[in-house]
Structure 1
């Protein structure tokens, strides 16, 4: 596990990150997805405090925007440290949590930290706050940054680390009065982007006007009405249609071109997603698959 950690790009920037944190109250770290910032930086801080004989006084809160991220990251960090959840590393989400007396690194949702700030405006006992995924710019995340900025003058010893997966971190640097930026360069693995037309061509899946209406145990008529074209199309759907009209797909097979002409951007396309997942499992090398779905309102 230590060998894997040392191979991550974040590990190579460990000294620069810790130096910036020790010399500044606010530090902004940017790094591409997969560089290891989410799992490694909280550990760097904890290990540094332990080495400085401040481990007993150290209390780190690390926020994630979603509860599934909180649980997954906390489990991973605990595993990397050779521990069970609830020892040094714990987590807290709404109505659920794992934490012990020796927990010094707590992962939680943004909402959990905001609720704590309601009853403890000064975050008594907390030495470090790490806010991950700040580039998502959700309402809770933006409000949390406002509250934390107001807190910093009252807690000069508190350290705030903001982490972003994009290079627009300069926006947050200016908001926090020129806070220093540390960038973690590079990927640990190659990333290839495949668009809809590429996936249709590779998989052989054929879109039709009918197979984009999904039937998962609900009445088909209800689904038809629910997913019928809207009178006022969304800006995204309109942009997609404009792009399709302007695009030249001559390098693709006639079947793929026909599928693209049938594609309905108003449908989520669970059938297509299911087919692609099966295709990946049957034809690609073993590994994990992460699917980002639309929200409940969509």
Structure 2
């Protein structure tokens, strides 16, 4: 929606004239619309009705690095479509994709590298943050507070005698890493880090540190899903700083929210007010939030996986890829 609005604005016309958009259950387009922004699901639905995409001359697929079932299936269908419609122009775009891999899949398609301007970004990892802020992690201050209604979700994070497979992997990685340049306190915190937790307390601490010690600019916090966003938002709203609308503009951004609620993240706050956005990786896409100067990424996102035992797809949080992490830098 935001991209179509921007393109229409730069063309000097109203949205719905030559530029429109279509998402699930909502869309703006007219008789003269020639450029339609849509989701992957909308395009697949169109292909279901019209396998040859009659009337379409160009298909541009952006953020192609986001590998998923719908995205991979779409590429298979488009490759078959090109054999039937060789005049159709297909453009695959991403700032972080392995271009040669996609080029070989489409029979040696041409690759165009377009240089762009990126702002310098300083990245700090968990060990850097612990060293800089002197924050100390313990096995119990990492447990995320989801409230009494979701006690089961909190109980899953309590350290158990029998460790999970990911915990063993983390321990091996920590042992293999060289943390000699960090203080003993930081090394001790890392040794008790719980990979099953998001880290609400650490995020709250970092937000306080930024608000009190850093210059102006919005803060974007990447979370895994609506449960995490709503729980953290409730936690922050009772804080004396984040619960004060004269100091902080606290917003959420999730795909299930109404479009007018999602658009609030683009509004500029009043002078002296810090904007904080709690979002899923929906904020990693083509949208641009102009005043964001700080990004906190929990390193996890919900991805669709297949449960072979129950024969059903499920949406579970998993660690993001290195490419996705690089894409986050481009949001800053």
2:103: which partner in 1?
173
Q: What RMSD in Å do the two structures reach over aligned CA positions?
A: 2.6
Matched, 1:89 2:19: yes
Deviations 1:80-131 (A, max 9, x none): 4454433333222222222233332222111110011000111111111001
* Alpha-carbon separation, structure 2, partners of 1:76 and 1:288: 21
Q: How many residue pairs get matched? A: 227
Find the residue that maps to 1:164 and give its secondary structure. coil
* Alpha-carbon separation, structure 1, partners of 2:165 and 2:2: 34
Cα displacement (A) at 1:285 = 3.5
What runs of 5+ residues in structure 1 fail to find an aligned partner?
1-70
2:86: which partner in 1?
156
1:47: which partner in 2?
none
Deviations 1:141-167 (A, max 9, x none): 111111111111322332110113335
* Alpha-carbon separation, structure 2, partners of 1:138 and 1:266: 23
1:57: which partner in 2?
none
2:327: which partner in 1?
none
2:139: which partner in 1?
209
Q: How does 1:53-202 map to 2 (within 5 A)?
A: 71-166=1-96, 168-185=98-115, 187-202=117-132
Find the residue that maps to 2:206 and give its secondary structure. helix
Matched, 1:297 2:297: no
* Alpha-carbon separation, structure 1, partners of 2:76 and 2:138: 48
Cα displacement (A) at 1:198 = 0.7
Deviations 1:250-274 (A, max 9, x none): 3223432332222111111122223
- The correspondence for 2:216, drawn from 286, 294, 298, is 286
1:46: which partner in 2?
none
* Alpha-carbon separation, structure 2, partners of 1:84 and 1:205: 50
2:272: which partner in 1?
none
Is contact 1:211-1:271 (8 Å) kept? yes
Cα displacement (A) at 1:134 = 1.7
- The correspondence for 2:178, drawn from 227, 248, 269, is 248
Larger relative helix fraction: 1
Deviations 1:33-80 (A, max 9, x none): xxxxxxxxxxxxxxxxxxxxxxxxxxxxxxxxxxxxxx3433443444
Cα displacement (A) at 1:221 = 4.2
| Further displaced range: 135-144 or 91-100 | 91-100
1:233: which partner in 2?
164
* Alpha-carbon separation, structure 2, partners of 1:135 and 1:144: 13
Is contact 2:16-2:30 (8 Å) kept? yes
Q: With structure 2 as the length reference, what TM-score do the two structures score? A: 0.61
* Alpha-carbon separation, structure 1, partners of 2:46 and 2:82: 16
* Alpha-carbon separation, structure 2, partners of 1:255 and 1:82: 57
Quick one: structure 1 residues 277 and 103, their matched pair in 2 at CA, closer, same or farther if it must change by over 3 Å? farther
* Alpha-carbon separation, structure 2, partners of 1:203 and 1:77: 42
* Alpha-carbon separation, structure 1, partners of 2:8 and 2:140: 47
Quick one: structure 1 residues 213 and 159, their matched pair in 2 at CA, closer, same or farther if it must change by over 3 Å? same
Find the residue that maps to 2:128 and give its secondary structure. helix
Quick one: structure 1 residues 275 and 76, their matched pair in 2 at CA, closer, same or farther if it must change by over 3 Å? farther
Larger relative strand fraction: 2
Q: With structure 1 as the length reference, what TM-score do the two structures score? A: 0.67
Is contact 1:229-1:266 (8 Å) kept? no
* Alpha-carbon separation, structure 1, partners of 2:152 and 2:27: 38
1:59: which partner in 2?
none
Quick one: structure 1 residues 258 and 109, their matched pair in 2 at CA, closer, same or farther if it must change by over 3 Å? same
